[in-house]
A and B are shown apart, each in its own frame.
Chain A
Amino acid sequence: MFAPAPFLLKDVSVSQVMIQVCVALIPGIAAYASLVGPAILVQLVIATLAALIAEAVMLKVRGKPLALFLTDGSAIVTAWLIALTFPPLAPWWLVVTGTVFAIVVAKQLYGGLGQNPFNPAMVAFAICIVAFPALMSQWPSVGLQLSLIEQMNIILGWAPRVDALSGATPLDAMKTALKLGDGSFDVATLLANQDIYGNFAGRGWEWVAAGYLLGGLWLWHRKLITWHVPLAFIASLTLVSGALWLYNPAQFASPLFHILSGGAMLGAFFIATDPVSGCTTPRGKLIFGAGCGLLAYIIRVFGGYPDGVAFAVLLMNLSAPVIDLLTQPPVFGMKDKA
């Protein structure tokens, strides 16, 4: 399996790619904002500012041209992905810590855009969930209606963090209930609770996932990503969750629930498709995506963290160089590997 001719591509600049990625995120962001209110927009602004400042300082220290690299938009994409994966009412310094760590350590210390072995946004998520596990697991309860001012006060730390903020994600709530282990909960009764769950997955969250799917498909249509990673990601997540669901539907949620929950859609289309930290060969991309889906399922269902996408992507980032090495397509004219 290799990319067929013609090999001519449009000459697309990095900033054009990054702008289109941001545009593709908009449907998901719109659904997210209608679910949790304008807080997410505040977080996007905070993360963007923190990323740009951190990037500018690091470029200055490293003696690189500021204007060229600041305007390439890669820091903004990282910042947006961080804001979208963090709890929307997290205190401002949590998002800033994650963003600064992503830009300074995960990106610039490794040599800047194109040199980072790990996806910076996922490094930020992993760092913060290890360092601040409580804050990173506090999601606003569904249906919590707060005005922009109230949300701003909570994010900036001017108002106390009320109990209504300490909900779990639908994914986490289901895992915790199922893990109680006395068998009193099964998936069907949990899903019948329409306060948290909608038709397929978390109430409202399924539309966020649909928004990401829409944006992801547009990216594919624009040929900014190939189909390999998202398809392999979703297929492996579907296969493994489907197999366990068929085996015991009372204890394991359906594939549809898993695809539309947590960071699966965002991960499949926007995070695992990162051209820098992921695989580059077509067969490698398939293995990379499938590995992400499988690991994400294992971590989110059997592990201790609310979601597994971030750790799955980081683990596959680690394996990407070897996968690329082993899946090099044959050189033209050679029967076997060169």
Chain B
Amino acid sequence: MISRDEFRTIAGNGIWKQNTSIAQILGLCPLLAVTTNAVNGVMLSLATILVMAISNLAVASLRNFIPHEIRIPVFILIVAALVTVVDLLFNANLHELYLVLGIFIPLIVTNCIVLARVEAFANKNPPLQSTFDGIFMGVGMLWTLALLGAMREMLGNGTILGGIDMVFPSLQPIQVLPESYPGFLLALLPPGAFILLGCMIAWKNWMDARAAERNKLKPPTPVATAGCS
């Protein structure tokens, strides 16, 4: 089974240390496209969490039977099957949101976060640990996308929770800035996402540097980053 320490390491890695969006800088394409408000970011992250948890579980269970040479096609097949399920679920139950998120739900298949965790973790670890890894990597993505989405929509529109009515029809977006706020369109465009993401990465590095200083330890060696779609 899983020890307490192991669980804490996996959770810490997913949520902060190897956070997909602000440490590994993976999955930038959906990040830029859907975080125009917090709700979109959260819903895409929830879909990704579901896919990652189950695909990590499936791959970890099958890892001893998958031939090493053809593992990538096998992973993709598993992930694609799961994404199809999620895609159909969104289409049936959250149709309005499905129209907003559009192509980015099917594109979870090609999201390098999913493939990276399957290849780097689930392929080498037992099922339980792998499932937790999938969940917490997704949770890390969830809070960064939620924060980024909230900042972008607040700057861009002066609201928070825009689009919440697509998930819970009884709720309404909250206007936090006065009605006369002119709206800073740039924040809703991709450059705004890049600039704010840059600020969040700087904030994480600053927090890490402070923590390292407090512990009188050498700063952790940066995780090798490789961006992709």
Contact = CB atoms under 8 A, between A and B. Distances in A.
A131 B185 contact: yes
A135 B182 CA distance: 10
Contacts of A132: 182, 185
Contacts of B186: 127, 130-131
A190 interface: no
A127 B186 CA distance: 7
Interface in B165-210: 182, 184-187, 189, 191, 195
B185 A130 contact: yes
A105 interface: yes
Contacts of A130: 185-186, 189, 191
Nearest to B192: A131
B185 A105 contact: no
Contacts, number: 15
A132 B191 CA distance: 15
Nearest to A105: B195
Interface in A83-101: 97
A135 B187 CA distance: 17
Nearest to A97: B184
B122 to A, nearest CB: 38
Interface residues of B, number: 8
Interface string A120-150: 0000000100111101000000000000000
A131 B184 contact: yes
B182 to A, nearest CB: 7
A47 to B, nearest CB: 18
B168 to A, nearest CB: 31
Q: Which of B184, B186, B189, B191 has the most CB of A within 10 A?
A: B186
A154 B190 CA distance: 32
Nearest to B195: A105
A131 B191 CA distance: 11
A131 B189 CA distance: 9
A135 B186 CA distance: 14
Contacts of A133: 185
B185 to A, nearest CB: 4
Contacts of B191: 130
B88 to A, nearest CB: 38
A135 to B, nearest CB: 8
Nearest to B180: A157
Contacts of B185: 130-133
Interface in B130-167: none
A184 B220 CA distance: 69
A133 B185 CA distance: 9
A97 B181 CA distance: 13
A127 B187 CA distance: 10
A97 B155 CA distance: 12
Contacts of A127: 186
A151 to B, nearest CB: 20
A258 B188 CA distance: 34
Closest 10 CB pairs of A and B: A131-B186, A131-B185, A131-B184, A130-B186, A127-B186, A132-B182, A105-B195, A130-B185, A130-B189, A132-B185
Given A131-B187, A133-B185, A135-B182, 5 more contacts: A97-B184, A130-B191, A131-B184, A132-B182, A132-B185
Interface of B: 182, 184-187, 189, 191, 195
Interface of A: 97, 105, 127, 130-133, 135
15 contacts: A97-B184, A105-B195, A127-B186, A130-B185, A130-B186, A130-B189, A130-B191, A131-B184, A131-B185, A131-B186, A131-B187, A132-B182, A132-B185, A133-B185, A135-B182
